[in-house]
Amino acid sequence: MLAALAASATVTAVLTTPYAAAEPAVDPTSAQPAAPEPTVDETFDGTTLPAGWKVADGAWKVQNGRLTGTSTTSAQLSRITFGTPLADFRIESHLRFESAVDAARWVAFGLDLAPTGAVPWSIATLRNGSTAANGLEFAQRTPSNTWNVTDTAAAPIAVGVGKEVAVAVEVRGARATWYVEGREALRTTMVNRSASGVQALLVNGATVSFDDLKVTPLAKESFVRKPGDPLRVWAHRGGSSAAPENTAASDEVARRGRAEWIENDVQPTKDGVPIILHDDTVDRTTDGTGAVRNLTFAQIAGLDAGSWFAPAFTGQRVPTLGQQLDGLKTRGGNLLLEVKGSHTRESVARIVTEIRDRGMTSRVFVQSFEPQHLRWMHELAPELPIGLLRSTLDPDPVAIAKDLGLSAYNPSDAAFQTRPGIVAELHAQGVAVNVWTVDDATRWNSLEKAGVDGIITNRPAELYGWNSAFLQRGKPVVLSPAAGQKVDRAQQLRIAVTSPEPATITLDGKPIDNGAPIDTTSLVAGEHVIKAQIGQVTTESRFHLVATPTGLANLILTSSGSRSTVSTMTTLLGRRQYGVLAAYAGTPAAAGLTAARRAQIIAEAHALS
């Protein structure tokens, strides 16, 4: 089979490190599961490296409340590893370039490294020159110790030496998303995973310091699309427009086309082996004849499943479910598994065993036209998300979704068009809507506007490209206050958003007009969030209100305090006697202050003391 892949002009099989997903404990009786606790939560307040952290290369030390890593040359890849193997997690920190050889030098989160730091590994990088076209990257260090850069983008802000920046990466299996100052900046579907990979920090040709580093397991994934997110790409029978369906070759095409999920059909042979085949006979997609359930696996295993599509695929075989899962596990990818045709409870149980034996439950989504199949699946493997396929809509999709415990309701495009309002109804119950099988960009556009969550398509690479364009167009940009800006109460701020059409703007969840002034004296200290939304597209920007002597002076001078109160407080402020000022503001002697302004002045003075 691999020889056939290598011979194909379309497909080159690329082996990566095996990945075994961690199996989270599930409490089926818990309606509101507790948020996962961080597995790593470091503020670096000590003087030594945290327990369990391992230096693989370079100089790493803890001082002045920060972890500092140094790489003396552009060739050195300084690395420190920590954490535990996790399937889905968020890694985040506040970091700062203290120095750098040049703008191309970088810092990285290690997303999957051996505890020793040895190759191969997968990382997410941020360059000192962050606004360059490759300011952000997802990259792999291969077993042969070479680079494979899979995705690049410019960061949304300039970093540079001396500027602290909040960064995070969220990882789900082979997928990952880069965030800079709370803003999504880059996605990938190409993170190589391993059974024992942990997290890491890397520095190249620079000295970088870190604070507030956390690694937190992600809660069970919702398949409802977030506002502004692109359509989820489900590759129908693999990349079936470019390779023979339901084979290792079509899976590889879908993987290269950046499909998040690869759809395959499973049904049992006469002797009970679950195989990957769509039709109830082998006639159309192999050189054999006969009903699948009348043939043993030994009879099917020798059939040619590729030459019908093109001579380059001669020698492709009908894979077992186990072989297909192994291929996804070693090469990357997630499986949308359709339980095809009629099955017994025992044959569904065999499918569950194949999935669990390979540690793949966090990377498999099961769908079927048959509600009974889904009931059995839910009973046998409640941790697996399930979806109901429909050629015509049920009278009450919400009721059947509740009854079956669905994660998704997946109608045909023709069925969906009879009642697009089911999206809002199902979303209200946390159930996603994925439409099949749609290969036309005009329909993708209509379905995106209708709010569906994903498309099952024969053209996954084209849909991925369409999504990339979608993420670039029509997106509002928050100009002021700037992302990451630190402001005080003396500054005069106005909301400034540029967008191709009028956007709905909120400040901390409350509507505000574009161009409206922001009264900094009315804001609480700390982080504030501006959101600008056009349809399903949302931009989020964060700024921080901080205590400064100038800001405190503004609070005092614009207060309703008596002349004596204002004079006393400004005198204490000028002498930097912040503690005394806070104490005075809390006494009856500070006459004329409103309760709210009095509390603000006390809090601001304490923050400065």
Active site residues: 236, 278
Q: Give CA–CA dist 211/63, Å, rounded.
A: 11
Q: Which own/partner pairs from 561-569 qualify as long-range (CB within 8 Å, at least 24 positions apart)?
A: 561/590, 561/591, 561/592, 561/593, 561/597, 562/591, 562/592, 564/591, 565/589, 565/590, 565/591, 565/592, 565/593, 569/601
Question: Among residues 274, 267, 270, which one has the least CA distance to residue 293?
Answer: 270
User: Which residues does residue 498 pair with via DSSP β-bridges, in sequence order?
Assistant: 477
**Residue found under tokens 């961690």:** 22
Paired residues of 124 in beta bridges: 109, 138
Number of H helices, E strands in the chain: 15, 33
Residues pairing with 153 in the sheet: 136
Rounded Cα distance, 450 and 392, in Å: 18
Distance in angstroms (rounded) separating the CA atoms of residues 36 and 496: 36
Yes or no: say if 213 and 82 are a contact pair by the CB < 8 Å rule.
no
Category of 52 on φ-ψ map: left (φ > 0), alpha (ψ -120 to 50) or beta: left
CA 541 vs CA 197, 491, 544: distances in Å: 33, 18, 11
Strands (E), 128-193: 136-141, 147-153, 164-172, 175-180, 183-188
Per the CB < 8 A criterion, the answer to whether 338 and 263 are in contact is yes
Nearest Cα neighbor of 93 from 116, 122, 126, 139 is 126
Residue with structure tokens 């409103």?
Answer: 594
Q: What is the DSSP string of 497-550?
A: EE-SS--EEEETTEE--TT-EE-GGGSPSEEEEEEEEETTEEEEEEEEE---HH
Q: How far apart are CA 370 and CA 81, in angstroms?
A: 47
Q: What angle do CA 498, 502, 507 make, to 5 degrees?
A: 70
460/253 Cα distance (integer angstroms) = 9
Q: Is the distance from CB of 471 to CB of 529 less than 8 angstroms?
A: no
Closest-CA residue to 349 (of 315, 321, 323): 321
The phi and psi torsions of 596 (rounded to 5 degrees) equal: -65, -45
Cross-strand bridge partners of residue 233: 455
Residue 502 vs residues 393, 490, 513: alpha-carbon distances, Å: 35, 30, 10
Tally of CA atoms within 13 A in the half-sphere of 79 that contains its CB: 24
C-beta separation of 520 from 491 below 8 A: yes
